[in-house]
Amino acid sequence: MANRTRPTLEKRAKERARQDKRKQKDERRLTAKVTKTNSPRGEGEEDPDIAGIVPGPQPIPWDDEEEEVV
């Protein structure tokens, strides 16, 4: 009968380990979600990476130079 209890105990230990790992993973995800929503800039502030970009066609950067007439 000693052989029967050992696999059961191992199974329970594995299941507990899975539950603990799942719990830690959920906590990490929640922490990441909260961190992501609490950005350093305020509600109405513009993202500095895309500040000044206007949707649509962009001006050609080399078009500003004056054309030389030969």
Q: What is the pLDDT of residues 24-43, one digit of tens each?
A: 999 999 998 888 776 666 66
Please indicate, yes or no, if residue 69 is contained in any of the structural domains.
Answer: no
pTM, entire model: 0.46
Q: Alpha-carbon distance 15 to 40, whole Å?
A: 40
1, pLDDT greater than 70: no
Output the furthest CA–CA distance in the chain (Å, rounded). 103
Please indicate, yes or no, if residue 14 is contained in any of the structural domains.
Answer: yes
**Checking phi first, is residue 65 left (phi over 0); if not, alpha (psi -120 to 50) or beta?**
beta
**Please, how many CA atoms are within 13 Å of residue 36, restricted to the half-sphere of its CB?**
6
Q: Would you state the structure tokens that stand for residue 33, as one six-digit string?
A: 């979600």
Average pLDDT over the chain reads 80
Range of the domain at 25: 1-35
Rounded percentage of the chain residues whose pLDDT exceeds 70: 73
Please indicate, yes or no, if residue 7 is contained in any of the structural domains.
Answer: yes
Count of structural domains within the chain? 1
Please indicate, yes or no, if residue 47 is contained in any of the structural domains.
Answer: no
